[in-house]
Amino acid sequence: MTKVNLSYNPFLSEVALEVNGAKANMPQVWGEKKIDELGNWASDFYDELERKYNDSEYEINFKGIMRDYEFLEDALKAHKNSSSFSLTGKENCVYAKDQLEKLKTIFAEIQATSPYEQLKNDEIKNHFLMATSNDFEIAVVATMSSGKSTLINAMLGRELLPARNEATTATIAKIYDEDGMTNFTAEVRSVGGEIIQTFDNFTPTHMDAVNSAGNSDKYDGDNANDRPSTIEIHGDIVGIDSNNMRLVLLDTPGPNNSRTQEHKEHTHSLLHKEYKPMILYVLNATQIATNDDNALLKSVAEAMKAGGRQSNERFMFILNKADAFDPGKGEGEKLENVIKTVKEYLAKHDIFEPRIFPVSALMAKVIRQYINKDTLTETEEDEILPKHTSFIKREYKHFEKYASLSNYCKNLQDEMLEKAKGNPYEEALIHTGIVSIELAITEYISKYALPKKVNEGVASFKEKIDNLGVEADEMEKLKGNQEAIEERIKNIEMIKSALANSDKAKKIKSEIANVSLQKSIMNSLDNISEYLFDDLDDELSKLTGNVLAEAAEAKIDRFNMILNNASSELKAQISSLLETGIKEQAEKYVQEYQKYVESLVGDVSFEMSFASAVLGDLSEISTSSIISSYKTKKFEKVGSHSEEVSDSSWWNPFSWGRTKTIRVDDYDYVDRVDLETIKNNEILPNIEEFVSNNRTAALKEALRQEMEFKQFFLDEFDKLESKIKEKVKEQDEIMKDKKKFEDELAENEKKLAWISEIKNKLENILSI
């Protein structure tokens, strides 16, 4: 038997492996330079053990957090030789949420007991709170008629978002989870970000009114910034355990049915966010394979490929209206076959192994409303709610069995089902599939969001405490050591001289002045453009022939929609590219200067932050203007009609007065359009302009952010130099004043003891 001890620390990105008591390494699994998330190599781990040790039996003991144990457990169950392995250590694993709570307790202790005022200021408080309490976004996206709003209402347990007229949706709804609230409040914000309306008890009627205002033509002129754009709603999202984080459900207008380009861009930008928000992609089970999905699914596929297991798990494909099928009508209506069809459809868009969750959002919503004593319509009360019993009686409506859940979540769900026995509404609710979706969301937060929050929370002040500790240690070395004291005084004079000459500072300032992202931006833009315009080439090939004006308009409208989606996707990727480039440059110079500073003084640190790029409007094909310019009148057959005519002949008396009915062709002047001419004269030049505008806008934004970065850094640089000089002056005075020096030594002992205690507590959180 091969005995394996595996330890993985996601907070520190550290892995340790022992095989039969000896240290081992598997670079083929987790790499030599960067340790990936365990979820990305859990499956390969078992294969690599077999390849390297060629044994028939392996005993693996794991140490880490619970989510990673579950990764290993899931991978083992799926392994072809699972019986050769045993996995232990579950009882010793910790939960990320518990570590986060410990961190918050330590932070409160620091605020109450710290001998350093710089650990109590508003800057570090705000940074810590932002690192540990950020909102976690779950975006719900879909094309029209998918039941997206009904799904969100089901998760809320009440009717809040109107489930009709999705094409007229004018606002992005952000629903913030506030545990314990009994009603919903709302603030309406304009395109410009101003609060223009508030509600103490928000209802679907209010939502309709805001959408109507958002669709009003009165905002199409100079006051476009006043148009209602976002509704921030606060209330209790009853079905999801947020685990110490505030959830934000984002109900976004679908990119193909949104009124504004801004909203289309918002949906695409969510796919490329660095922090990886969850995406619930709602599909109508009865209308799979619609053209409207194509552009968005292509972007989804790229995002899923970009980041290993987490990128795959953050996308959940919700198969709504799954109760519309009746397996008694044939094999095609069996849910397992419907799911197979969905997987084949997604595979055509390069989406493989999707997590699919069948659901009846309408039944789930109605049951939850009934349980919560929320008002039901007559149809809901008389026709929908009574059918909840079929979800218990008909096994093919037990949608939770088909959900893409981990074994851990399946066990939780089974426990919930067992407890629900005897309560038909609670039991039916689980069978609708809504609970499976909520369990998967909760698990994702626990697996990915919380560990990151722990790490960011510790990092928010650990470096500062470490630097303070270095300073205190250096001070301790001076106690009773006259030679060291004299050396310190000498070093202070050298530092003062170095700061006065400031050659290093001048060199870094010069390097900052030469920072340029433009070349890398243009190279990346070329790569992105080539990928995005594949769809445009396909659509261009369809713009041929001399067709009726109405048909031409439909084809150009279709092309225009794809062009707009390409624009939204391009903007989102450019924005992400710019932000990443700026951050890389910032980190490079911060690290370089801090190394220089740390060689002179102990405690120097500051933070930098940059907003994402928001590019301006890009070119768009105007269908109406093109069609009117390229119409030609042609006299041609447009139909036929019946006419009664004489059937008599002069030479046949018996036929006189006889009639017959004949079909007569109708001819008229109709509008026809030569699509090839439009393509060559209008569309291709527009595409060239579109690409040119994107390049120009990207370069302009890169230049703006470069200037912003440089100015910000230079301002901080000046503050830093001033702070260093103050620090040096303070040290100079202490070292030359015996009384001050002795008092400082006495105070320093207390500081050292406090720092040691706090550092131990922080390290215990991160060391697992």
Together in a domain, 143 and 268 = yes
Rounded Cα distance, 732 and 267, in Å: 57
Residue where a domain stops, chosen among 359, 383, 407: 359
In the numeric block, the tokens 């907003």 are attached to 611
Task: Domain of residue 684: give its range.
Answer: 478-622+677-736
Together in a domain, 293 and 160 = yes
Number of domains in the chain: 3
Together in a domain, 215 and 150 = yes
Q: Which of 713, 710, 697, 711 is nearest to 575 (CA)?
A: 697
Do 579 and 610 touch, CB atoms closer than 8 A?
Answer: yes
Together in a domain, 62 and 141 = no
Q: How far is CA 580 from the centre of its chain?
A: 16
Q: Within a domain: residue 590?
A: yes
Q: Within a domain: residue 565?
A: yes
Rounded Cα distance, 717 and 726, in Å: 14
pLDDT value at residue 414: 92
Cα–Cα distance list, 271 to 164, 485, 568 (Å)? 26, 58, 11
Together in a domain, 87 and 162 = no
Q: Within a domain: residue 450?
A: no
Rounded Cα distance, 493 and 576, in Å: 46
Residue where a domain stops, chosen among 306, 333, 359: 359
- Torsion angles phi and psi, residue 638, rounded to 5: -120, -5
Together in a domain, 508 and 581 = yes
725 residue type, one letter: K
Rounded Cα distance, 610 and 591, in Å: 17
Q: Within a domain: residue 120?
A: no
Strands 278-284 and 315-320: parallel
Q: Give the global pTM.
A: 0.61
Do 613 and 573 touch, CB atoms closer than 8 A?
Answer: no
Helices 96-113, 738-767: crossing angle, 10 deg rounding: 170
Q: Measured in Å, how far apart are the chain's first and last C-alpha atoms?
A: 28
Q: Within a domain: residue 427?
A: no
Rounded Cα distance, 47 and 29, in Å: 9
pLDDT value at residue 225: 72
Together in a domain, 273 and 153 = yes
Strands 2-9 and 58-63: parallel
pLDDT value at residue 748: 81
Together in a domain, 46 and 145 = no
Rounded Cα distance, 190 and 171, in Å: 10
pLDDT value at residue 31: 62
pLDDT value at residue 255: 53
Q: Which of 418, 404, 388, 420 is nearest to 323 (CA)?
A: 388
- Torsion angles phi and psi, residue 524, rounded to 5: -65, -40
Three-state secondary structure along 685-702?
HHHHHHHHHHHHHHHHHH
Together in a domain, 81 and 200 = no
CB burial of residue 416 (10 Å; 0-12, 13-18, 19+): middle
pLDDT value at residue 142: 81
459 residue type, one letter: A
Instruction: Tally the residues of the chain.
Output: 768
Strands 85-88 and 58-63: parallel
List the 546-548 sheet strands across, edge first: 546-548, 659-674, 631-646
Rounded Cα distance, 376 and 383, in Å: 11
| CATH number of the domain where residue 307 is located | 3.40.50.300
Together in a domain, 255 and 166 = yes
Q: Within a domain: residue 439?
A: no
pLDDT value at residue 617: 22
pLDDT value at residue 359: 97
Together in a domain, 499 and 609 = yes
How many beta carbons lie within 10 A of that of residue 392, not counting itself?
A: 17
Q: Which residues of the chain are under the pLDDT cut of 50?
A: 165-168, 258, 600-638, 649-656, 666-667
Strands (E), 513-556: 546-548
Rounded Cα distance, 148 and 252, in Å: 10
Q: Within a domain: residue 466?
A: no
Strands (E), 269-372: 278-284, 315-320, 355-359
Tokens of 147: 């039941």
pLDDT value at residue 395: 94
pLDDT value at residue 408: 74
pLDDT value at residue 567: 66
Q: Within a domain: residue 45?
A: yes
Tokens of 279: 């995406």
Residue where a domain stops, chosen among 335, 359, 383: 359
Do 461 and 110 touch, CB atoms closer than 8 A?
Answer: yes
Q: Is 767 helix (H, G, I), strand (E, B) or coil?
A: helix
To the nearest 5 percent, what fractions of the chain are helix, strand and coil?
60, 15, 25
60 residue type, one letter: I
What DSSP assignment string belongs to 452-473?
A: HHHHHHHHHHHHHHHHHHHHHH
Rounded Cα distance, 414 and 431, in Å: 11
Together in a domain, 34 and 139 = no
